Amino acid sequence: MDPDVVKMVHGAGGVEMQKFIKNYILKYLSGSGAEVPLEFLDDSSVYNGVVLKSDTYTVKPIFFPGSDIGRLAVAGSVNDMLMIGAEPKALAMGLVIEEGFPFNDLERILESVSKTASEAGVYVITGDTKVVEKGALDKIIINMSGIGFRHRYLDHNIGVVAKYRGGVDFRWLLDRNIRPGDKIILTGYIGDHAIALLSVREGVGFKIDIESDASPLNEIVDKALEVGGVVAMKDPTRGGLANLLNEWSDKSGYGIKIYEDKIPIRDEVRAACGYLGLDPLELGNEGKAVIAVVREKAEEVLDAIRGTELGRHAEIIGEVTDEYKFVVMETVIGGRRIVPQPIGDPVPRIC
Amino acid sequence: MDPDVVKMVHGAGGVEMQKFIKNYILKYLSGSGAEVPLEFLDDSSVYNGVVLKSDTYTVKPIFFPGSDIGRLAVAGSVNDMLMIGAEPKALAMGLVIEEGFPFNDLERILESVSKTASEAGVYVITGDTKVVEKGALDKIIINMSGIGFRHRYLDHNIGVVAKYRGGVDFRWLLDRNIRPGDKIILTGYIGDHAIALLSVREGVGFKIDIESDASPLNEIVDKALEVGGVVAMKDPTRGGLANLLNEWSDKSGYGIKIYEDKIPIRDEVRAACGYLGLDPLELGNEGKAVIAVVREKAEEVLDAIRGTELGRHAEIIGEVTDEYKFVVMETVIGGRRIVPQPIGDPVPRIC
């Protein structure tokens, strides 16, 4: 790889992106002393009790089965705030539009932003629009930043964790929080979003009856925290489940064991991955969360999640272990295989 | 103008951009009930005491005399928070990079972000990086969002206003706050940034010894609020001084009178505007603020601003009036002319 220029893989949510962030971004921008600073590389940051999140959406195409860039932007940023234990409250939208972009398409996107924000209980309260000349951008990109505040059930939730742990050393749901014995819940099918996007991508398109399920996860998070015992949450976007579990393992210093037969995946998605040569564990997802829960409360949290519309296919897919320090999958045919952190997401521009 | 597609002018900070925001953005995204909501179209929003700001920087070229896209992004977003009466505290940086972008250039930008953040007393505490394929973006764009909190001198400042007004109906420094008799201070030379950019733009380039002066305005704001009596602040970016004053006039319902001979402008910039056919009042600026102050405190605030490095060329350039409801300039040759709101900024992609 040419070492002197930025490549697609540096934004693709895997090993190379992590190196890029450590070697470049953190080299210049660490040391804030914020409550949850940049260096933690969690899904959101926290300053003085305020959760702050920024994400730019460059998805291609901008309209795809089941969703669009507007819904994706709201749901994606809202979910990253939820994952750390916040209730998202206000969004800031930065639009960059290529000259010649149809107003009809813009209205569809804005309507979708509005509708999704309403589902998530947030408002866009500020923003900015830039227009660049034709050829300087591929249609439209959206930055969705936002703020949130401590979730109303977060203290209760951490209290439940503390009860089983004999105390805790965290105030937010960080990647580093997982400990041996914690159970890992996945809230729904993996791969839908990436496969839906691929099915309509120029030069790849194929016929499949799969829709992207980008959605705000407020209800799932509310129910899980209401039960209590959640130690960490993260959405398996770029780099998929494989990347997420490796990040948790790296940051906590513990291993993770998952069971292949427990991972919710649709037959059509499994089949599509087969003929496209893609590993479903590495595909980016939207509208899904991975939730680590103290063992004693795992079944109860699972039941609460299954009671929600978006969480009805939730499963306990594995657990944290101190037997090793990496991610291992017990396969259906009876063996064990290491699940490595992907180099990058095999499907670019999924969010 | 083709009514069905987005044009450059819709992002150019003038009449057309205002129409675009009202007809499209606000149609879908108003009604938040935030303390300072989207509908106010002020430089920042406020939710529950937290000031939230988003701005995306698409400046071209990304390196230019005196500054670069990194410095511009930090200073621009910090200044918009300062203008409403906040102390900026934390930034969220969304990078979108074109594949093939040199790491050397990226490091220059990140170093500049870091240095400018340090000048402004803020940290980048979170962010996101997306990489898109070659041709899908012109090099790099940066979204800089951020949060701030009520300025330590804001209550004192508003107290001073209230003393001379017999009370006030505002808690933040909003565009709508200006009243007849208020004096208008401009903190430095206009036109430098736009002319510096133009001088190095492909196909336009000319030789001129002007540098962009994009800078965080913390010191000027601190000094002005410490004196007290400030009713509104705004930075004359896209659409320049002409757009800013028209926005204040529209939102307050009062007129504004300015004096041509009081407006600080360098001879070289005036000359460049002459041969390029540009109106310096319509050129976008960086590192400058326009500050409305109650008459009784105007000279004192001016002196305080002149005591700062960036504010040493500050002038009182005019005042708010109830004689008419638009912006009028008393010209050097003795006449009066209406200063219309520009259609858009004559120089695209200046920020």
Q: What is the CATH number of the domain that holds B133?
A: 3.30.1330.10
Q: Closest chain A residue to B81 measured between Cα atoms?
A: A126
Q: Is pLDDT above 90 for B206?
A: no
How many Cβ atoms from other residues are within 10 Å of residue B12's Cβ? 28
A21 is a domain residue: no
* Residues in A touching B39 (Cβ below 8 Å): none
Q: A210 and A291, same structural domain?
A: yes
- Judgement on whether residues A205 and A131 belong to the same structural domain of the protein: no
Instruction: Supply the pLDDT for residue B347.
Output: 86
Residue A346 domain-assigned (yes or no): no
Picking from B315, B77, B110, the residue whose alpha carbon sits closest to that of residue B217 is B77
Last residue within a domain, chosen from A131, A150, A169: A150
Residues 319-338 of chain B whose Cβ lies under 8 A from any Cβ of chain A:
none
Say yes or no: B136 and B184 in one domain.
Answer: no
What does R_g of chain A's alpha carbons equal in angstroms?
Answer: 19
Q: What DSSP designation does B60 have?
A: S
Is A202 a residue whose pLDDT tops 70? Answer: yes
Nearest to A138 among B34, B50, B137 (CB): B137
- Last residue of one domain, picked from the residues A99, A115, A150: A150
Say what the pLDDT of residue A205 is.
77
d(CA B37, nearest CA chain A) in Å: 5
Domain assignment present for residue A170? The answer is yes
Residue matched to tokens 């601003």: B305
Q: Report whether pLDDT(A1) > 60.
A: no
- List the CATH number of the domain containing B246: 3.90.650.10
- Chain A, 144-183: which have a CB under 8 Å from a chain B CB? 145-147, 149
Closest by Cα among A252, A223, A222, A246 to A78: A222
Average pLDDT over chain A reads: 96
Euclidean distance between CA atoms B176 and B133, whole angstroms = 44
d(CA A69, CA A72): 5
Per-residue pLDDT for B189 more than 60?
Answer: yes
What's the pLDDT at B318? Answer: 98
Tally of domains in chain B: 2
Residues B191 and B141 in one domain: no
| Residue B246, token pair as written in the block | 């028209």
Flag whether pLDDT at B1 surpasses 70. no
The verdict on ipTM greater than 0.90 is yes
Give a yes or no: residue A22 inside a domain. Answer: no
**pLDDT tens-digit map of B75-91:** 999 999 999 999 999 99
Dmax (CA) for chain A in angstroms is 60
Q: Which chain B residues contact residue A24 at CB under 8 A? A: 103, 106-107, 110
Going by pLDDT thresholds of 50, 70 and 90, the confidence category of residue B314 is: very high
Question: How large is the angle between the packed helices A192-199 and A267-276, nearest 10 degrees?
Answer: 60
Question: What is the mean predicted confidence (pLDDT) over B196-217?
Answer: 89
- CA dist., res. A176 & res. A13, Å (int): 18
* Mutation choice for B interface testing from A111, A143, A149, A237 by most B CBs within 10 A: A143
List chain A residues with CB under 8 Å of B27.
110
Q: Which amino acid is at B81?
A: M
Q: Is residue B37 assigned to a domain?
A: no
Task: Considering only residues B201 and B125, tell me which one the structure prediction assigns the higher pLDDT.
Answer: B125
- Please report, for residues A175, A244, A288, B203, the alpha-carbon distance to residue A161 in angstroms, rounded to integers and kept in the order given: 15, 22, 23, 64
The predicted structure's pLDDT at residue B293 = 98
Instruction: Please write the tens of the pLDDT for every residue from A284-316.
Output: 999 999 999 999 999 999 999 999 999 999 999
Residue A3: what pLDDT? 75
Looking at the domain assignment, is residue B103 inside a domain? yes
Mutate to test the interface with A, among B24, B69, B125 (most CBs of A within 10 A): B125
In terms of domains, do A112 and A216 share one? no
Residues of B in contact with A92 (CB under 8 A): 45, 52-54, 145
Confidence of residue B236 (pLDDT cuts 50, 70, 90): very high
As a whole number, mean pLDDT of residues A95-118 equals: 98
Give the whole-angstrom CA distance, residue B230 versus residue B59. Answer: 31
Q: CA-to-CA distance for B85 and B1, rounded, in angstroms?
A: 38
Residue B89 has what pLDDT?
Answer: 98
What pLDDT score does A152 carry? 98
Tell whether B172 and B296 lie within a shared domain: yes
Q: Which residues of B touch A130 (CB under 8 A)?
A: 11, 56-58, 141, 349
Q: What is the maximal distance between C-alpha atoms in chain B? A: 60
Domain boundary among the residues B123, B150, B177 is at B150
Distances (CA, A) of B236 to B189, B223, B241, B281, B345: 11, 19, 5, 9, 11
Do residues B171 and B268 share a domain?
yes
What is the percentage of chain B residues whose pLDDT exceeds 70?
99
B153 contacts B228 by C-beta, under 8 angstroms: yes
Q: Would you tell me which residues 84-143 of chain A have a C-beta closer than 8 angstroms to some C-beta of chain B? A: 89-90, 92-104, 106-107, 110-111, 113-114, 117, 123-133, 135-138, 141, 143
% residues pLDDT > 90 (chain B): 94
A224, A199: one domain = yes
Residues facing A255 on adjacent strands: A321
Residues A133-154, buried b or exposed e (16+ Cβ, 10 A)? eeebbbbbbbbbbbbbbbbebb
User: Among partner residues B12, B60, B101, which is closest to A6 by beta-carbon distance?
Assistant: B101
Report pLDDT for B255.
98
Query: In angstroms, how far is the first alpha carbon of chain A from the final one?
Result: 24
B303 touches chain A (CB under 8 A): no
pLDDT category, A36, cuts 50, 70, 90?
very high
Specify whether A194 is located in the same domain as A319.
yes
Taking the C-alpha atoms of residue B21 and residue A127, their distance in angstroms, rounded to an integer, is: 10
The verdict on A88 and A112 lying in the same domain is yes
pLDDT digit string, tens, across residues B255-313: 999 999 999 999 999 999 998 999 999 999 999 999 999 999 999 999 999 999 999 99
In this structure, the answer to whether residues A179 and A322 fall within a common structural domain is yes
Instruction: Specify the residue for token string 């895997």.
Output: A14
**CA pair distance A281, A346, nearest whole angstrom:** 10
My answer on whether A203 and A301 are in the same domain is yes
Q: Is residue A12 included in any domain, yes or no?
A: no
Could you report the per-residue pLDDT of B25-80, keeping only the tens digit for each?
999 999 999 999 999 999 999 999 999 999 999 999 999 999 999 999 999 999 99
Does residue B179 belong to any structural domain of this protein?
Answer: yes
A264: domain range? 154-338
Please tell me the predicted confidence (pLDDT) of residue A258: 98
Residues paired with residue A126 on neighbouring β-strands, in sequence order: A92
Structure tokens at B307: 């005591």
